[in-house]
Amino acid sequence: MKLAARIGEVTPSVTLAVSAKAKAMKAEGLDVCSFSAGEPDFPTPTHVVAAAKQALDQGKTRYGPAAGEPELRAAIARKLQQDNQLPYQAEQVAVTCGGKQSLYNLMMALISPGDEVIIPAPYWLSYPEMVKLAGGTPVIVTTTAATDYKITAEQLAAAITPQTKLFVLNSPSNPTGVVYTPAEIKALAAVIVDRDILVVADEIYEKIIYDGAEHLSIGSLGPEIFARTITSNGFAKAYSMTGWRVGYLAAPLEIVKAAMTVQSHSTSHVCTFAQFGAIAALESPQDCVEAMRQAFAKRRKLMLDALNAIPGLSCPTPGGAFYLFPNVEKTGMSSLEFCEALLTDYHVATVPGAAFGADGHIRLSYATDEATILKGMERLEKFVKSRL
């Protein structure tokens, strides 16, 4: 059977593969410490669950508009105006099956063969694959620990060509956890406006920041950059709603309509009653978000302190999200070799940095309980010491 050529261009998700292997090992009775999946271990807040249950009881189980329930689109627009100073109107918001679909719809609606999309590395592993599926060309700009794994305005300007259509900005970042400062965001915005390209701001981790870090939405800096900004976000990370699959895209109206044309012929709309849970998440007190953020902050310190005590490993302090991205090059192994041996021999699941465009690193998620973190880091230390 001959498959479409585009499938041969796409790399399967390593994150999902590692997570599946770890779950299979657990099912066999093995004690696995999993730091692979970017999924909060907290239950979804009870008021969110209650709102979805109420929607079920009220019969909200029918087809709905492809762009989302009007009440949710309005609630998202209010959130973006109040929290992010982004003057989107409800008609400029589309509800999608998770943040991932918002980005996929965007690429399919915006990118044509020959178009270039600038992606800083390390990057979330799905960005370049989505660009390839749309027929575009990912232009990877490598960043280093010297700049805290952030692309500079100078690097962005140098990467832009006549074929450049879009720049992908992820802050706080997956996999590094870095948060761009307001000054850095302003410098990038100046280049985007000057060179007249578009930017998609993936802000899925915006609520999970530490040490006084400030999240600044790039589209809030003025009318010129706002007109060139597409914002992607969702409910999975901040509200522990990963399985609910509710995300959203906010953009100039023409782009939103095009993205919804794609969605209308693929998934149609998001699960109806789940959208009413999302409304409750936005319109209720945000104490649950802060409680989870504080727990993540404690876990971050626990894992980072343990990691920095391991000879041969080095890791910058992340300002957001729930990942560490240490350098493991001193072990002499590739990131894939490192992760496979660590999982097979010591039953600790991590994700190779090669999947994120940065071999020589691994990604660890601390979105798990403290006991697992302590046990897993002890195993990691034994493993590294056996390889040095």
pLDDT in tens, 147-184: 999 999 999 999 999 999 999 999 999 999 999 999 99
Q: What is the pLDDT of residues 206-255, one digit of tens each?
A: 999 999 999 999 999 999 999 999 999 999 999 999 999 999 999 999 99
The answer on pLDDT for 12 being more than 80 is no
Distances (CA, A) of 295 to 35, 131, 219: 16, 35, 30
pLDDT value at position 8?
85
Query: Nearest CA to 262 among 96, 116, 114?
Result: 96
Pick 228 or 7 by higher pLDDT.
Answer: 228
Q: Count each helix (H run) and each strand (E run) in the chain, helices first.
A: 14, 12
What is the band of 84 on the pLDDT scale with cuts at 50, 70, 90? very high
pLDDT value at position 19?
76
Query: Nearest CA to 322 among 100, 174, 143?
Result: 174
Q: Can you state the percent helix, strand and coil of the chain, rounding each to 5? A: 50, 15, 40
Question: Domain coordinates of the chain in residue numbers?
Answer: 5-44+287-387, 62-283
5-44+287-387 fold:
Aspartate Aminotransferase, domain 1 (3.90.1150)
Q: What does the alpha-carbon distance between residue 278 and residue 268 come to, in Å, rounded to a whole number?
A: 18
pLDDT value at position 11?
81
The answer on pLDDT for 85 being more than 80 is yes
Q: Are 198 and 165 in contact (CB under 8 A)?
A: yes
pLDDT value at position 366?
97
Query: Nearest CA to 137 among 154, 122, 158, 159?
Result: 159
Which residues does residue 236 pair with via DSSP β-bridges, in sequence order? none
For β-strands 198-202 and 164-170, DSSP reports them as: parallel
* HSE-up of residue 352 (Cα within 13 Å, Cβ side): 19
The answer on pLDDT for 17 being more than 80 is no
Query: Nearest CA to 215 among 284, 169, 248, 283?
Result: 169
pLDDT value at position 154?
98
**DSSP letter (8 states) at residue 235:** S
Contacts of 91 (CB under 8 A, 6+ apart): 73, 253, 256
Which residues does residue 247 pair with via DSSP β-bridges, in sequence order? 96, 234
What is the band of 381 on the pLDDT scale with cuts at 50, 70, 90? very high
pLDDT value at position 2?
87
The answer on pLDDT for 279 being more than 90 is yes
Within its chain, how far is the Cα of 11 from the centroid?
17
Contacts of 152 (CB under 8 A, 6+ apart): 184, 187
State the burial class of residue 256 (Cβ atoms within 10 Å of its Cβ: 0-12, 13-18, 19+): buried
The answer on pLDDT for 16 being more than 80 is no
Q: What does the alpha-carbon distance between residue 11 and residue 130 come to, in Å, rounded to a whole number?
A: 10
pLDDT over 70 percentage in the chain: 100
Give mean pLDDT, residues 183-194: 98
Q: What does the alpha-carbon distance between residue 336 and residue 330 come to, in Å, rounded to a whole number?
A: 14
Q: Say yes or no: domain 62-283 is CATH 3.40.640.10.
A: yes
Give mean pLDDT, residues 63-79: 97
The answer on pLDDT for 9 being more than 90 is no
For β-strands 247-250 and 93-96, DSSP reports them as: antiparallel
How many residues are recorded in the chain?
388
Give mean pLDDT, residues 49-58: 98
Q: Which residue has the tokens 């794994």?
A: 149
Pick 7 or 310 by higher pLDDT.
Answer: 310
What is the token pair recorded at 78? 């209010």
Element (H, E) at 187: helix 182-195
pLDDT value at position 152?
97
Element (H, E) at 72: helix 70-84
State the burial class of residue 154 (Cβ atoms within 10 Å of its Cβ: 0-12, 13-18, 19+): exposed
Element (H, E) at 80: helix 70-84
The answer on pLDDT for 5 being more than 90 is no
Q: What is the pLDDT of residues 19-28, one digit of tens each?
A: 788 888 989 9
pLDDT value at position 310?
95
The answer on pLDDT for 14 being more than 80 is no
- Between 1-15, 313-327, 342-356, the lowest mean confidence (pLDDT) is in 1-15
* 141 SS3 class: strand
What is the band of 202 on the pLDDT scale with cuts at 50, 70, 90? very high
The answer on pLDDT for 13 being more than 90 is no
Q: Are 248 and 203 in contact (CB under 8 A)?
A: no
Q: What is the secondary structure of 364-385 as a DSSP string?
A: EE--S-HHHHHHHHHHHHHHHH
Q: Mean pLDDT, the chain, as a whole number?
A: 95
The C-alpha angle with vertex 297 and arms to 292 and 303, in degrees rounded to 5, equals 120
Domain 5-44+287-387 and domain 62-283, same fold? Reply is no
The sign of the dihedral angle between the CA atoms of 305, 306, 307, 313 is positive
pLDDT value at position 23?
85
Q: What does the alpha-carbon distance between residue 157 and residue 194 come to, in Å, rounded to a whole number?
A: 9
Query: Nearest CA to 320 among 371, 366, 358?
Result: 366
The answer on pLDDT for 380 being more than 80 is yes
